[in-house]
Amino acid sequence: MLNEAFEARVQHLKYRAHGSWTPLLKALGVDEHILNRKNQPCPLAGCGAGVDRFQYTDKFGEGNYHCRKCGAGGGLKLAQGVLGLPFGELVKRIEALQGTMPVVPDNPSKCVEPGASRMKQLCQRIWREAQPVVPGDPVDRYLRGRGLPLEQFPRCLRCHPALGYFEKPDGATRAKKVAEYPAMLACVQGPDGRAVTLHRTYIQDGHKALGVQSKKVLSSGLNGAAIRLCEPTDELAIAEGIETALAVFLSTGKPVWAALNCGNLPKLWIPESVRCVAIYSDNDADSEFDGQLAAYALAHRLKHEAARPHAEQREVKVFVPKTAGTDWADVWADRSENHLANNRVSNQTNKVQVQAAKTARAATAPTVASCAEAETYSGTHDTHDAHDANAVTAAEVVA
């Protein structure tokens, strides 16, 4: 359990350090020359230096570097290799710089937070229990109920038939299963494309089963990971929630990712191939502007990165709904409802107009008897014309 507790400290350290490794490494004592993003000899002990095999890039916001001989790594590995500190000592120094010295529990043996290996096994087991989303299943009915009908479902979404819902009673050390619900599972992927965790939305009868408690991430530490609902092109749309992202996709056709929350949004990793990023923010003007703040923080970071020497230019746009307290899923739902209402009015109007036209035609259309009388009076027997007249009358009646 102590090893798991230490592993949790390291994961929290990485979470806090995401996007700020460069100043953190400088504060630890790593020479600024090493962090200048230029090719140079490798500074890691045991590599043999070379001439230009090493480059610090911070590509994914994790203090990333690459050496053509000793390979790639992140900020922790770089700091340990350069400074020569024991790993435990290095962790303590970084925690001190972050102001996050760990609180030691009164009884470490009661620490039941799952470690990374156990969490990975749990995610894999739950994912295997679920099935791809298909028309008519609980996830499809839930999305349609939200006004989000999909012809094809993202591979990162699955439907679990009966996922356990757990609660931790006050004073208890373990959570207990209190119910089972169908659930929409979403695979959360890190910058390397590997699954980081699962997002769960508990549903019942086409709706959220538990209100605001219906959505839960299986583990913390998203660190810029996302739910990749579509394969990005040179353009990528970003939103917070899954439903909001799907609404953006349906309304714009743009490939879209979901960041899950505004805390993760500024850290989101964006592929270098994406040249245009459209950020669809929530409008949190009715609270503390968290949605707008996170969206513009991401936009600021992306523009700052694009301004670096030799970096490719990238267009960044931010879209915010007009109404406070709404997101783009709300906007889509309102438009869909208005569209349906307009269709209902239009259909009813068309029915009235068609019926009026039928009534008018029926009042003026010649009958079979009147056609026969006209033929007898004129002394002609044009069977073709009489047949056509009857055919038209029949067609009008059928119409």
> Is the pTM of the predicted complex or chain greater than 0.75?
no
In the structure, what pLDDT confidence band is assigned to residue 100 with cuts at 50, 70 and 90? very low
Which of the 8 DSSP states describes residue 254?
-
- Residue type at 120? K
Residues 201-240: b if buried by 16+ CB within 10 A, e if exposed: bbbeeeebbeeeebbebbbebbbbbbbbbbebeeebbbbb
Contact 39, 52 (CB under 8 A): yes
The full set of domains in the chain, from first to last, is: 2-98 (3.90.580), 121-221 (no CATH), 222-331 (3.40.1360.10), 333-398 (no CATH)
Q: What is the pLDDT of residues 82-97, one digit of tens each?
A: 999 899 899 999 888 8
Q: Token pair of 120, please? A: 């990975």
Cα Rg of the chain, angstroms: 32
For residues 126 and 283, give the distance between their C-alpha atoms in angstroms, rounded to a whole number: 34
For 202, the enclosing helix (H) or strand (E) is: strand 195-204
Q: What is the pLDDT of residue 185?
A: 96
The Cα-based distances of 23 to 109, 259, 267 in angstroms read 36, 25, 16
Range in 178-187, 268-277, 311-320, 329-338 the model is least confident about: 329-338
Q: What is the pLDDT of residues 217-234, one digit of tens each?
A: 887 668 899 999 999 999
Q: What is the pLDDT of residues 122-155, one digit of tens each?
A: 889 999 999 999 999 999 999 999 999 999 999 9
